[in-house]
Each structure stands twice: as C-alpha cells, then as structure tokens.
A and B are shown apart, each in its own frame.
Chain A
Amino acid sequence: MVGIVGYGAYVPRMRVKVEEIARVWGKDGGRIGEGLGIKEKAVASFDEDSCTFAVEASRVAVKCSGVNPGDIGAVFVGSESKPYAVKPTATMVAEAIGATPHLTAADLEFACKAGTAGVQACMGMVSSGMIKYGLAVGSDTAQGRPNDALEYSAGGGGAAWLIGKDNTIAEIDATYSFTTDTPDFWRRQHAEFPRHAGRFTAEPAYFKHVLSAAKGLFERTGTTPKDYDYAVFHQPNGKFPLRAAKTLGFEESKIRQGLITPLIGNTYSAAAMIGMSSVLDVAKPGQTILLVSYGSGAGSDAFKLTVTNEIDKKGRRPCVPLLKAIEEKEYIDYSAYVKHRRKIKSL
C-alpha cells in the first residue's frame, strides 16, 4: 500500500505580527487579527526562498525515511513563488538531497495545492511500479501586496513527503480530487503580486471545493467524519478550516493539531502539508487522518491516511516537532520585512 515514508517541514525564523502590518496602514490590528484568526506570519530572510525551504524540508523527509536518496525516482516541487519562472526548483532539490541523476523531476503550479498535486503524481508512479520512491514538495514565499487583505496572511514555508510502498509511516488509503475552472485568485505572468476576487474566494471557491472533495472521499471510502481522528484542511487563515470542519461535522478538537496558520500565516503550497506534519508528530499507530488541500483556480485534493506502527520507531519522525520548531522565532518590524521581501523597488 502506497504511503508516506518520510515527512519534513521548514518554517523560516522571522515573524511579522498582524498588528505591526496594521500599524503601518493605519488599521485596527487587533480586529484584523481576530477576523483572520492569525497572530503573526513567518517570512523568509533575504537569503531564503521557496527553493531553500524545499531543500530544508526535503532533507528532513529523506532523513526520516531512512531511504537511500539514489532510490528516489521522482521529485516534484509545487510552488507559486518559484525563484525562477523557467528552471525547475525540483532539480536543485534533487541535487541537494543526493538523488541525481537517475530520476525524473518537474515543478508544478496549482496555487496552494501544488504540493498535494505532486503527492498524487508520486502515488501513481509508485503504485504502478514505475518508481520506488517519489518526493513531493510544497513550498512558497508568498507575495503579500502592500495594504491588501492578503498581506496579513501571506507567509512562507515548505513541506515534503517521501512517497513509497515500503515501511510507510502512514498509508494513503485513498485520494479524491474535485477540480473546476474557478478564477478566485490568480497572478498574471509578469505581475509582481497576485490578485483575488474578494468575498468570491470563500463560498464558490474554497468551501465549494474543500467540502466537495471531502464528501467525494467519504463516498469513495464509505467513511464519515466520526471515522477520522484528525482532519487537516488547507488553511488560508485561521477561520476557514474551522468553518469547513463544522459544516462537515468534525469536532473542533480534531482539527486543532493541524491548524498552524494562526502562528505562521498561510504558507500556500506548503500549508496543508505543514498542518499534516504537526499531526504526524503526535498521531498514534492505527489512527486515521483526513487531509483536504485547496488551490485557487480551483481544486481540492482529499486524502485518507492511516498511521502505521513504523511511525513510533526511532528516527521516523523529525528530531524537532513542528510546534516546537516554530517557537524559534525572531520578530521584525515592517521596514525590515519590506527590506527582506524585496518590496523596495531598487532591490
């Protein structure tokens, strides 16, 4: 049964508080933070980007898997903030984890669900016997347009899953995707910042696809929310996942462990996978997890996973659990944030 053989996540050290951003624009930071369910967001340092996040997360995943990197047959990196528009991050990740040259690689784009799209690609290639292991990465250093609602939530981070059939720590029992042509959030080719359609991004976009994907998976697997111990949803803010959970009939306690956005902001392609990292850090063998990602444009990938006994074995989890890792942080003010994120024109 195909599943996750190793997992890793990376969140950069610097944080900007929602209140600090609001201060610059003369807005009520307290109210905005409340409304979004976000306290602060993680931001990349000057010398970090979605490629460095991808490498750091991937190195952890490969280490936990115990796998020889030479046996990795595919690397997919999903991102909407690639350092190069043309030159795949996947090759740099492949080199950095020692997987080159006998493998295939490519970058994927599907807004925030490019990471899980890569997971599905790896699942297919592993199940068919085409490759032994595949690495799927979701990584972003999201661009927040100054004085836009998304500036408060756009954060940065990376997560990686090594997919295989042997010694999995969590089996992927089933996956179901729901995809439509829905223009809720986009970035044109040469635009610096993405645009979004305001309130349109909620019901017809996030909720329609997340709920449909979850329901489709329940139908496909004959399960209901009470069959799951944890649920992780894509988390563009701290509120949407709570509403999705409630609508589907999940108790809030089941989604708390996987809801990380309030502490680090929306890490886009990494978001759902980082939430999953937090869950895998504590989940016990035999427990069942629902993961539903969402990418604007639009689509959702839903997964049913069952944790195996392997997870409790030495070295199969990252040395530092995610929630502990993100406690290592340093606050910066808006001017430092703007400098590091290169929003100053001449940089």
Chain B
Amino acid sequence: MKNATPLIWRNSADRYHLMGSHCATCNTDYFPERVVCPKCRRKGKIDAKQMPTEGKIYSFTEVHAAPTGFEHETPYYIAIIELPNGVKVLTQLVDSPDEKIKIGAQAKMCFRRIFEEGEEGIIAYGFKFKVV
C-alpha cells in the first residue's frame, strides 16, 4: 500500500519486539496481537506480551516470484517458525545456508529492513529470523 505511514508506524513496536497478546482468562498467547480472544471473546482479558524470540522451523519455502517491492530480493526464504509458547509466526529467513534450512531447525529473531516505499518513502523495519 502506498503512503500507508500510520499503518506501518502503528505495528512497528510489534514488529521490533515480536509483541503480541496474552489472554489471562484462558492463558493463551497470540501473535499478532488481538483485540478479542478467539477462545473467550467477551470473557477474555487481553494484555500485551512479548513472544519468545527463538523457535523451530515449522515449514519453509524459497520464493522466486515476488510481489511488488520485493522483486530484487529473490530468491528469499519465507518460513513459519513455531515458538515454544505454541505461537506460530510467518517471517523471512535470512543469513541461513541452504543446507541448514530444514523443518525442525532452530531459528532466532534478528532485526532487518522488511520493505521500503520506493527510494524516497518510509522504510519498514522489523523481525526476520535466522537459523541458529
């Protein structure tokens, strides 16, 4: 989306810290953050909570055909990382030799540029993961 400054800014703390939610009623963690707990709905008590920043690769793919803004980065890896608290996070996988990228491999969070709105626009930073 073009010039979506408020949208990019509003999620930046979540992206920098892997900040999600925790429902005290059912003791479940969520990422990204939730306003309503899917299990408890109105009975839920939601608070901000930082997710663990290390987990295991649950699935991965190497992307060769990218959407707008990511064309020059291909090929790049997209993975779903399963964190110890049960939360799964979709992310890019960087700095990881091909032979180390397997389902079950340990990966940890790092801080990278996610995308930029062209040469003159805002840069969105946030989490990516790399194999440990």
* C-alpha gap A161/B97 in the complex (Å): 31
Q: Does B123 contact A (CB under 8 A)?
A: yes
Contact: B73 with A47, CB < 8 Å? yes
Q: Does A25 contact B (CB under 8 A)?
A: no
Q: How many residues of B contact A (CB 8 A)?
A: 18
Contact: A96 with B97, CB < 8 Å? no
Interface set, chain A 48-62, CB cutoff 8 A to B: 48-49, 51-52, 55-56, 59
Interface set, chain A 4-49, CB cutoff 8 A to B: 13, 45-49
Q: How far is the CB of A264 from chain B (nearest CB, A)?
A: 15
Q: Which residues from chain B contact A252 at a C-beta distance below 8 Å? A: none
* C-alpha gap A52/B111 in the complex (Å): 6
* C-alpha gap A347/B69 in the complex (Å): 11
Q: How far is the CB of B6 from chain A (nearest CB, A)?
A: 16
* C-alpha gap A164/B37 in the complex (Å): 42
* C-alpha gap A51/B123 in the complex (Å): 11
Contact: A51 with B125, CB < 8 Å? yes
Contact: A95 with B12, CB < 8 Å? yes
Q: Does A98 contact B (CB under 8 A)?
A: yes
Across the interface, B113 reaches (CB within 8 A) one of A48, A98, A330, A339, namely: A48
Known: A46-B73, A51-B125, A96-B17. 9 other contacts (CB 8 A): A13-B95, A45-B95, A47-B92, A47-B114, A51-B113, A51-B123, A55-B16, A55-B125, A59-B111
- A sample of 13 cross-chain residue pairs with beta-carbon separation below 8 angstroms, ordered by A number, consists of A13-B95, A47-B92, A48-B112, A49-B113, A52-B112, A52-B113, A55-B16, A84-B123, A95-B13, A95-B16, A330-B95, A339-B72, A347-B72
